[in-house]
Amino acid sequence: MPGPLLFYVRHGETEWNRAGRLQGQHDSDLTALGQLQAVRSAEILRELWEREGRSVDDFDYVASPLGRARATMERIRETLGLAPGHYHTDPRLQELAFGRWEGRAYYQLQANEPDVLAARERDKWNFAPPGGESYAALMTRVGAWHATVRRDSVVVAHGGTGRALVALMRVAAPEKACVFDIDQGVVYVFAGGQFARYG
């Protein structure tokens, strides 16, 4: 039997996203565009639910505890007319940990750690940055969270977390899931092995 629907939103653009810096489990503020992307995600959710005759009260709301995901969730809830802070967080939804790479730009890694980056390109799914974690490990913790979901839910988290769900729910094979585009300002719906993108 299919599990609950997940309406998945990646947090809005952050200052580090705009600067091309790896965030991982560090944080930076949403940009003005990131705030608008959160509002747009809420509008998409409202349109989807109106089409299906559903209400904002039909869902659980859960976010990664990282600040950029919380800020996005709170803007979504406010736009939907809900109390901004009335949602759950779960640490298992945190972004992929990049270890000592967090805060660094990709061009810096290309200049200073080309051999390590080459290893990453050979097996991105199982590769763990120095002091960080692999997509395989991330899928294990996201899977532990997913096993607890009992109700259709709005989930706000990260690009890496979304890729782990793509693999977990067999939308794509792991080696393809880890390079899957998880965009900002859109809504992804996971439903019993099916997957759709709105926005």
Active site residues per annotation? 11, 95
* Token reading at 123: 């097996």
Q: Is-contact 31 15, C-beta < 8 A?
A: yes
Q: Is-contact 51 44, C-beta < 8 A?
A: no
Query: What's the DSSP call for residue 152?
Result: -
Q: Which residue, chain included where needed, has tokens 């997509």?
A: 135
Q: Is-contact 189 6, C-beta < 8 A?
A: yes
CA 122 to chain centre: 24
* H helix count then E strand count, the chain: 8, 6
Q: Is-contact 135 160, C-beta < 8 A?
A: yes
